[in-house]
Amino acid sequence: MADQTQPWAERTVEVPPQPGVGVVPPQRDGFQRGVAQVGQARPRTTRTEQFPAVDPNHWAGESGPRRPMSWHLTQLRRGGELSAAGGLFAFVCWGIWAISGRGNLAAPLLTFVLSLLTAVGLFALARLLGRIVWERQLGRIRRSARGAHLVTAIFLVGVGVAYLQQTEWVVDAWNWVTGN
C-alpha cells in the first residue's frame, strides 16, 4: 500500500512489465524527412483499486511515519514572509512610539517583547487549530504554515497600529490629513 503521508497526486501505482510493450525499435523502411515516427497504440491499463484515504483511527494515539526535523522546519518557513512583514511593521511603529516617549526605553522594550511573545503564542494556536480542523476533521494534508503566518501578520499589524494610535504627533498628523 502507498505511503499515507504522501499527497494523493504524488502517489504512484506499480504496474508489472507487460511483454510487447516498451520502446519501439527504430524502423528505417518508412522514414520520411519531416514526419515524426509514431509508435503503435497501446491499450490503457485501468485502475481497479481506490485511492487510499486518511485513516481516522490513525489519530487515536498511533504515531505515523517519522519525518525529519528539516521537513517540519521547511513546512513552518513557508509563509514566513507574512509574519516577517507584520513584525517589521510592528517594529517600526514601536520605534516611533518609543522614541516619541522621550524616556527610558526599558518599559517600551518590555511591551514590544511581550507583543512578540503573544504573536508567537497566536501562531502556535493557529497551527494547533489547523491541525485539528484541517488534518483531523477534513482529512487534508497541510503543506505550509501560510494560514498561521497570515493570522500572526494581521495581529502584528494591529499591534503596530495600536502603537501609532498612542503617539500624539502621529494622531495629530492623521487628524490633519483626514480633516477631523
pLDDT, one tens digit for every residue, the chain (180 residues) = 555 666 666 666 676 777 666 655 555 566 666 767 667 666 666 766 666 555 555 554 445 567 777 776 777 778 889 999 999 999 999 999 988 887 788 888 999 999 999 999 999 999 899 888 877 788 777 778 888 999 999 999 999 999 999 888 888 888 889 887
Residue 64 CA to residue 91 CA, distance in Å, equals 40
The reported pTM is 0.59
Task: Domain count for the chain, please give it.
Answer: 1
Q: What residue type is assigned to position 162 of the chain?
A: A
Q: Does residue 19 sit within a domain?
A: no
Q: Does residue 42 sit within a domain?
A: no
Q: Does residue 115 sit within a domain?
A: yes
Residues of the chain by 3-state class (helix, strand, coil), percent to 5: 55, 0, 45
Q: Does residue 101 sit within a domain?
A: yes
Residue 104 CA to residue 102 CA, distance in Å, equals 7
CA separation, residue 101 to residues 87, 88, 98, 110 (Å): 21, 20, 5, 14
Q: Does residue 6 sit within a domain?
A: no
Residue 19 CA to residue 10 CA, distance in Å, equals 27
Q: What is the pLDDT of residue 73?
A: 74
Contact 12, 47 (CB under 8 A): no
Residue 166 CA to residue 173 CA, distance in Å, equals 13
Residue 32 CA to residue 74 CA, distance in Å, equals 52
Q: Does residue 167 sit within a domain?
A: yes
Q: What is the pLDDT of residue 154?
A: 96
Q: Does residue 15 sit within a domain?
A: no
Q: What is the pLDDT of residue 132?
A: 87
Q: Quick one: how far is CA 16 from the chain centroid?
A: 37
- What is the residue range of 179's domain? 68-180
Q: Does residue 144 sit within a domain?
A: yes
Q: What is the pLDDT of residue 51?
A: 60
